[in-house]
Homo-oligomer: A and B are copies of this chain.
């Protein structure tokens, strides 16, 4: 196995894992980290590169083995950096074994089905990494905040979602969930950048302003899904995400540590390869 030396360089102590049973207070949960890395963002970039390289290493083994799978779920307010996290953290992996499923507003066909129908279709096969850019958690949080269905409907979804994730875990899928946590002031800056920069105009959606108006309602709804759907087999990490480079390093390091724990190695040859002659 290749040697990965980033760990010693990462002398941060940032608790991102939400302890099972606890309810996070998002108003006090940090959105920034005073990262104790010598050289700041510049050294951070080198560190991220090494993390991405190790992630790519483990992804190759996962793909070769085709026994386990990794499901990464990203949630967060608009502009919290879901897209940027995917672009940066997974930049060195082989796209052949890594797929992104973005769940935006459901189509008419999707709405005609149970809400987990479109989600389950995109769950990873053995050997794959799948990243959910938004997920079934929108079917609780967004439905609740915007009053799209009666409370009796979204309230029973906690139970469904927990059972669904437990089934996936039982079937060999490792699940890691990230809530990318920014504050309202940071969102203002990022939305203004979308208005200012012609290359970001396509990302501006007036409905983001409606969601921004309901910021407090989201901050009240999220702690409930974070605490009620948080188990050892599918834990939530709350990532301070105001600084993009810090966010990337945190997510990448959690994924690398997750992959290390899977105890994977390249499959053994199933014949005596030394005796194989190639004509």
Measuring CB to CB, which residues of chain A are less than 8 angstroms from any residue of chain B?
66, 109, 112-117, 120-121, 123, 125-127, 153, 156, 159-160, 163-164, 166-168, 170-173
Contacts and interface: CB of A to CB of B under 8 A. Distances in A.
Contacts of A153: 170
A21 B115 CA distance: 30
B112 A168 contact: no
B116 A167 contact: yes
Contacts of A112: 66, 125-127
A166 B114 CA distance: 11
Nearest to A115: B171
Nearest to A125: B112
Please report whether the interface of chain A is mostly helix, strand, loop or mixed according to DSSP: helix
Contacts of A121: 117, 120-121
Q: Which 10 A-B pairs have the closest CB atoms?
A: A163-B163, A114-B171, A112-B125, A160-B167, A120-B120, A113-B125, A112-B126, A156-B170, A114-B168, A121-B121
Contacts of A126: 112-113
A126 B106 CA distance: 15
A36 B269 CA distance: 67
Given A109-B125, A116-B120, A120-B117, A160 B170 contact: yes
19 contacts: A66-B112, A109-B125, A112-B125, A112-B126, A113-B125, A114-B167, A114-B172, A114-B173, A115-B171, A116-B120, A116-B167, A120-B120, A120-B121, A121-B121, A153-B170, A163-B163, A163-B164, A163-B166, A163-B167
A175 to B, nearest CB: 12
A138 B228 CA distance: 32
Contacts of A170: 153, 156, 160
Contacts of A168: 114
Nearest to A168: B114
A188 to B, nearest CB: 37
Given A66-B112, A153-B170, 7 more contacts: A112-B125, A113-B123, A116-B167, A160-B163, A163-B166, A163-B167, A164-B167
A279 B159 CA distance: 54
Contact of A123 (B109, B117, B159): B117
